[in-house]
Structure formats: structure tokens, C-alpha cells
Amino acid sequence: MHLFSYNVRMITFRQYVHQSATYKLIRSFLLKFVDLVATFGGIVQNGLATLKYLLILQVERKELLEQCVRFGITSLPITLSIVGMTCVIVASQVAAEMVKQGGGNFVGLFMSILIVREVGAIMSGFAIISMIGSSLASEIATMRVTEQIDAISVLKVDPIRYLFVPRVLSGILMMPLVVIISSAFGVVTGALTTDLSTELTYRAYFDSAWIGIHMKDLGVCLLKAVTFGGTIALISCSCGYQAKGGAKGVGLATTKAVVWSFVAIVIWDLIFAIAFFF
């Protein structure tokens, strides 16, 4: 009788603990941590498998071409819009103040350094994540939950080679092109905004801009673009590849891909800033 009473009290205590806010908070944190580790491990594993195929040059050329068009051309309008508007906002607030303070001859230098080092790459990365990264994640997640990836495996085709390699390689190849075009567009929109908001001439702006741009800045910008492109594609494909649970799983995978990609390129940007400009 005493043992039975003890067991009842223990069961009641467990139920009380499981219903408490502290237990739910700790359990939620642990589940998120496990999911974080699992997601990161999956990204690393898929990245190594993709790198293996890239090193031995086993790439589906037709699929690669399609993904390059998708990554580089389809995303260009939204990328130019975001980078251009960002440069217009910055130039409209900075140029007039710099001219008032006697620093008109440095407006182009300031804008070119800002755009080449940061705005061109980081804002292009945000645009690519929003449009292409989410699309990649939802596409592969849909294939996962509808068992299309399982069908590919049954046909003795490695899903990593067929799905990951063309998409990751297209990101590596096309992201530098997107960043170059968007950065050039940003410098031009900065010049146009400066001319409209101040009396500074185009010649003074571009003479100053050329002084501010160095080969080191261009090299770091291109290296950053390659890293961003590959990272966005890899994370998006990996999050979609790990999807489960039907339509809800597709939505969660897409959200996870976008969040992870945003965090990843910000971390990469910090690493590049410390490594080359600190």
C-alpha cells in the first residue's frame, strides 16, 4: 500500500513538472539545440559530398546551365532594385552633409568603398536568399516529402550529385557576376543621387570614386561573392533535403533555409572584415 501511494505521488509530481513553464522552456530549448546541431551536421555532410563531386568534375551540365540562368539572370532585377535603393538612401543622407562640411571631393570615395566592400555583396546576398534560396529550399523539400528523392535513389542516382552539385556550383559561378553588376549599378545610382541632392558634378564624384577603389577591395569582394553564393545554395538545398512532414515541413524547411542563410552570410562578412580590413 505504501509503495502504491509512493508511485502515485511520483506520477503526480512528474505530471506537475511536465506542465510547468520552466520544464516546457527547457525542453523547447533542448529540442531547438538538437535541431541546430542536426541541421549544421547535415549541411557539413552534404557540403563535403558536394565538394567531392566538384573536385572530380562530375556535374550535370544541362542542369548546371538551367541553375546558372536561374541564379544569375532571374535574380538580377530584384538584386539591382535592392542594391540601387540602398545606395540612393545612403547617398541622399550622406552626400549633402559631406558637401556642407567641405568633404564633397570624398563623396565618391566614401560611396565606392562602402558599395564595393559591403553593400554590393551583402545586399545582393540578401536578395539572392529571399528569391533563389527560398525557392531552392522549397523545391527540394517538396521533392523530399513527395518521395521523389527516394525514387531518384532507387534509380541508383546520387541525389547529392543530381540536386546539390549543379545548384551549389551555379551559386559559386554566378554570384560574383551578380555582385559586380549590382555594385557598378550602386555606384552609378549613388552618383545620380549625389548630383540631384548637391551641386557636386559627376566628374568630381567619379574621380573620387576611382581613388577609393583598390584591387584588394575588388579581390575581397569577388572572394566574398563566391563564398556567399556557395553558402546560400548549400544551406538552402540542405534544409530542403532534411524536410519531413508534408506541406508544413516544406514551409519549415524554407523558413529554416532563409534564416540560416542570413546568419551564415553575416558571419562570413564578419570573418572577411576581420581577416582583410581589421
3-state secondary structure the chain: CHHHHHHHHHHHHHHHHHCCHHHHHHHHHHHHHHHHHHHHHHHHHHHHHHHHHHHCCCCCHHHHHHHHHHHHHHCHHHHHHHHHHHHHHHHHHHHHHHHHCCCHHHHHHHHHHHHHHHHHHHHHHHHHHHHHHHHHHHHHHHHHHCCHHHHHHHCCCCHHHHHHHHHHHHHHHHHHHHHHHHHHHHHHHHHHHHHHHCCCCHHHHHHHHHHHCCHHHHHHHHHHHHHHHHHHHHHHHHHHHCCCCHHHHHHHHHHHHHHHHHHHHHHHHHHHHHHHHC
**Residue 174 predicted with pLDDT over 60:** yes
The domains of the chain are located at 43-277
Closest-CA residue to 133 (of 269, 222, 37, 264): 264
Among 27-36, 94-103, 144-153, the minimum mean pLDDT is found in 27-36
Closest-CA residue to 160 (of 41, 43, 35): 43
Predicted confidence (pLDDT) per residue in 28-83, tens digit: 677 777 777 887 888 888 889 889 888 888 888 888 898 898 888 888 889 999 99
Rounded CA gap, 67 and 71, in Å? 6
Rounded CA gap, 172 and 244, in Å? 28
- The pLDDT assigned to 231 comes to 94
- State what percent of residues in the chain have pLDDT above 90: 35
- The pLDDT assigned to 140 comes to 92
- The pLDDT assigned to 262 comes to 93
**Residue 12 predicted with pLDDT over 70:** no
- State what percent of residues in the chain have pLDDT above 70: 90
- The pLDDT assigned to 96 comes to 83
Between CA 275 and CA 278, with CA 276 as vertex, the angle to 5 degrees is 75
Rounded CA gap, 106 and 209, in Å? 8
Highest mean pLDDT among 94-103, 114-123, 205-214: 114-123
Residue 222 — pLDDT band, cuts 50, 70, 90?
A: very high
**Residue 17 predicted with pLDDT over 80:** no
- The pLDDT assigned to 122 comes to 92
**Mean pLDDT of the chain, nearest integer:** 85
- The pLDDT assigned to 128 comes to 93
Mean pLDDT of 165-175: 92
